[in-house]
Amino acid sequence: MTEFGKAKAEIVNEKTLADQWTRLSSYDLDYTDSRGEKHRVKREIYHRTPAACILLYDPNRETVVLVRQYRLPSQLVGMPAWMIEVPAGLLDGDDPEAAIRREAMEETGFRIRDVRFLFKALTSPGSVTEVIHFFAAVVDTADRIADGGGLAEEHEDIEVLEVRLSEAMGMIEAGDIYDAKTIMLLQWAVLNKASLT
């Protein structure tokens, strides 16, 4: 049972509805609200493994390294299916820093020298368990030692983009960048640019 002030939540039943690419569960909760009233509440939760993402910033050129790839959920809600994002990926059993170094190399071809942990966040806490670890790193042109583009065996087809930070911020306003983790890291970069030199 979890409590907060007078409110309490107790899981009374869990049922797995699907267990393929990710697990979907149905929960019954006995929820006592802050007024002391008890309710039986139903929720469906997607169990996602932890992930990491990174802002790659070149202070000499004032550019960020982004990727563009196909995202089915974006297509399903009527938005452009090829999304512009920061490099990211699942931890796959690694610690967050090792995972983001691996993902940055696979997706962008950039070798990461010094990486800085920023924070971690739940992306959609009303229905998804995914926790994302956010990182930043300074890069330059000499750090790109491979093409990137993702792993063929994972059917990744990733385009690498290098965009001026100011242009990337404009792309948010124009609706060209609409990925939450990317918006968070770009806004962090604008607020903390002095610390990225």
Query: The pTM is what?
Result: 0.91
Residue 35 and residue 59 in one domain: no
DSSP-derived pairing of the beta strands 131-138 and 51-58? parallel
Residue 189 and residue 99 in one domain: yes
Residue 28 and residue 55 in one domain: no
Instruction: Tell me how many degrees the CA angle 117-119-120 measures, rounded to the nearest 5.
Output: 120
Residue 157 and residue 94 in one domain: yes
Instruction: Record the tokens describing residue 35, joined without a space.
Output: 């007024």
Residue 107 and residue 172 in one domain: yes
User: Which strand (E) or helix (H) includes residue 172?
Assistant: helix 165-174
Residue 38 and residue 70 in one domain: no
Inform me whether the pLDDT recorded for 5 exceeds 90: no
5: left (phi over 0), alpha (psi -120 to 50) or beta: left
Instruction: Record the tokens describing residue 180, joined without a space.
Output: 């939450």
Q: Among candidates 11, 4, 6, which has minimal Cα distance to 36? A: 6
Sign of CA dihedral 167, 171, 177, 180: positive
Residue 90 and residue 34 in one domain: no
- Determine the average pLDDT of the residues in 124-141: 95
Range of the domain at 30: 2-47
Residue 21 and residue 61 in one domain: no
Read off the pLDDT of residues 77-129 as tens digits, 9 standing for 90 and up: 999 999 999 999 999 999 999 999 999 999 999 999 999 999 999 989 999 99
Domains contained in the chain, number: 2
Read off the pLDDT of residues 146-168 as tens digits, 9 standing for 90 and up: 777 776 666 678 899 999 999 99
Residue 55 and residue 36 in one domain: no
Residue 31 and residue 75 in one domain: no
Residue 85 and residue 17 in one domain: no
